[in-house]
Chains A and B, each alone.
Chain A
């Protein structure tokens, strides 16, 4: 037996991997998923005692391309500011895994993949998922990769929900959890915004109860509107004012001098949002958007514990670090504090910082040296302990 595994000579490891696991994966809704397709990437090398695995969990519309070029958009990895050589999560030291969540559309099982019972795309016959189901699928992947315990699990937004769920579902499989700009439950306001998005998709005549895969006539208008509404919640009012204000599109001069007195995109913010919506539909499946937003809405980590969040973490040995941003009104600091309170009550080792940023919820994806320093310090502390 070699003293170290060489991941790049092992077909389980590397960029753009796809694996079909037999399952079945029992789901919270009562159904079971089989087989389970998982698309994932790994960076770096698993060390001899398999102690350096770091799982990155992606957000609602994220994917496994955390630190490599996106195959559709051609854009750099979505968290290259945090993950990469010389970064806090470093392939020279860490063995990094990022998997597309089940329900999504970048290669993992979801409504656009084939239902083995019919030979056609699942559509709305795909079982309704929970955040815990996504985590259980990740655990299945770790089993396949031969990884028992994670050095750390890291996630922002919906990724933070998964990172927070990991030590609850698998207390012996994760030494440290880093939860950024996230929450332990979806609020009424969170659910409300998601409902707007879902209704926009379902109101699109091309949605056809989700059965649009055969002719490729996708509900692009509905999905674009859903993205536009959601995108507003990722920004802050101050950030929007600074970036766009009331400035007009392609016209010089201030205020209303260049208005069309029609319904074109006069304002720069309109044009920006429309662009966000239109470019999103090229890379995302409308049904996946329905399933994942639903999973987020159902998320309430305290629910199986009679509503007492602290009980979810009782006896935990995992170290926790939470980071929130002061202008994030989607998952505001109060939600992180609620988690911290529960972790304290459970006697867990926990750190928490609220960072200042003008960029709202999106701040976790943007350049933030302070966040990088904290992540680095928190992860390194684990290797000394």
Chain B
């Protein structure tokens, strides 16, 4: 588990042993493999990129090639303990609907995303007047897969507006945990644990 991305590490540490998990946008299955090997989790994955799906299947994982925006409807309600969406929310066409689906399929949902209101992004936009290109958001505006940028406060507003419950929140800066206070300004990355 040592090589997991920091947000995945947080999720991995907070998934209970033997749980059933759906990892939406599971990439090459790094988190799923860690959960399976470390916590005897029954993990399934959904991933858009066929190369990533192949890599995950080659690791012995159960992964389906599909799109979070369209294919989550295929999953039965309450079929897993946790639905996980890591660094994928901002790439979906309808993030609020994807979140609804996650909370329908899972009893709880882990959601991690890069915080667009981090001070470095704010400073970049303010001083340069151009769409920020940062370590976590390295693409240019025209070729970025991140079509729905979101800040931590935006996300909290959505949680309140939809009447969801937040069971946990974690914030990261430079890959290290950072405090809740001023998270919207100081955190590069957020992980939320939600419930309907």
Q: What residues of chain A have their CB less than 8 Å away from a CB belonging to chain B? A: 319, 321, 337, 340-341, 344-345, 347, 349-356, 370, 373-374, 376-378, 380-382, 384-385
Contacts and interface: CB of A to CB of B under 8 A. Distances in A.
B93 interface: no
A385 to B, nearest CB: 8
Contacts, number: 62
B150 interface: no
A354 B50 contact: yes
Contact of A344 (B53, B59, B60, B76): B76
Size category of the binding interface on chain B: 10 to 19
Interface in B71-105: 74-76, 79
A352 B50 contact: no
Contacts of A354: 50, 65
**Interface pairs A-B: 7 shortest CB-CB:** A381-B60, A377-B58, A352-B64, A341-B74, A349-B62, A351-B57, A353-B53
A151 to B, nearest CB: 14
B107 interface: no
B76 A345 contact: yes
Contact of A355 (B44, B50, B74): B50
The interface residues of chain B, by DSSP majority, are classed as mixed
A353 B57 contact: yes
B21 interface: no
Given A344-B75, A352-B53, 9 more contacts: A351-B53, A353-B54, A353-B65, A354-B50, A373-B58, A374-B54, A378-B60, A381-B59, A381-B60
The interface residues of chain A, by DSSP majority, are classed as helix
Contacts of B74: 340-341, 344-345
A352 B59 contact: no
B104 to A, nearest CB: 14
A319 B62 contact: yes
A353 B50 contact: yes
Contacts of B53: 351-353
Given A344-B76, A370-B54, A350 B62 contact: yes
A349 B36 CA distance: 14
Contacts of A373: 54, 58
Contacts of B193: none
A153 to B, nearest CB: 17
B19 to A, nearest CB: 15
